Structure 1
Amino acid sequence: MKIQGVVGAALMAVGGMCPLVHLPIIGNWNYFDLDVSIATIFYLVVLVAFAASFMERSRLMRICGWLGVTLVLVTLAGVYFKSHDAFSFIHFKKAINFAASVVKYKWGWFVILAGALALITVRSPKKVFPPANAVSV
């Protein structure tokens, strides 16, 4: 079992439940409040990362870390474009930007990225070769 992989996957799982976006009057939203389908994909990646850490599959853990970063970037872009699109009925660009600026990003993104970084930096175990003068029987 790779402890670094377990910690990274756990940080990603906890980060998905932390506040990611704050909307006035509505409150804080986590991954499931933003989009259920992306949250489901995100937690499938987290489960694969957990399984890979118990099976000691370093490459699969790194792939899960990169997938986590990719999902975070896609979600951040989606939140940005959705917040600007929600106020597109306003015909003044500055008013649209002001209205979209009420959507605040919260600290949960950093927890997810810390977990993904832990998964990305997992090292493969060193292969131990027998000494050159050893005799195999």
Structure 2
Amino acid sequence: MLIVKKFNAYLGLILAVIAAGISPIIKVPLKGNWNLYQTDQRLFLITFAILALTSLCLFVRQLKAFRLLTIVLFIWSLLMATAVYFKSNNYFGSKFFDKVLAKTIHYQWGWIVLLVAVLLLLTSVKRERLTTNS
């Protein structure tokens, strides 16, 4: 039987929406802080689609699907971090300009919020044995 820790699940969903929506992901010189939408719109839309499905599964109490989608969200956030890293390190296709650009782009605190949110979501569902007193 799957049991959900509602506080962890709700807090994780709220933090994930904040991290993916409005928190700064990278700092670009001359442009300022960019959130996920300004970094890559496809990553933003896919992330919010996964978050929407995860919250739907939580609200309709489909805990197996919720657990699966939290694992998918964890894997997706790892892929998203590597995609942003490689995009910033291979933007122009020239080694000189890419090295200069990679040294000027700094990652912001939005990644930490996303990591905490995903870890809260991963730890929100646990399996427990049903015991009967006979």
What is the CA distance between 1:119 and its match in structure 2?
A: 1.0
Contact residue 61 and residue 122 of structure 1 kept, 8 A: no
Match of 2:37, as an amino acid? F
After TM superposition, the structure 1 stretch with the greater mean CA deviation from structure 2, 74-83 or 103-112, is 74-83
Superposed CA deviations along residues 61-105 of structure 1, whole A, max 9, x for unmatched, are 332222222222222222222222224335x5xx64343121111
The percent identity for this pair of structures is 24
TM-score, normalising length: structure 2: 0.80
Contact residue 88 and residue 98 of structure 2 kept, 8 A: no
Structure with more of its chain in strand, by fraction: 2
After TM superposition, the structure 1 stretch with the greater mean CA deviation from structure 2, 120-129 or 24-33, is 120-129
Residue-pair matches, total: 129
List alignment gaps of at least 5 residues for structure 1: 133-137
TM-score, normalising length: structure 1: 0.79
CA RMSD, 1 decimal? 2.2
List alignment gaps of at least 5 residues for structure 2: none
CA 1:128–1:70: 2 relative to 1, 3 Å? closer
* Aligned residue in 1 for 2:11: 7
Q: Map residues 19-98 of structure 1 onto 2, 5 A cutoff.
A: 19-90=24-95, 92=96, 96-98=98-100
* Aligned residue in 2 for 1:118: 120
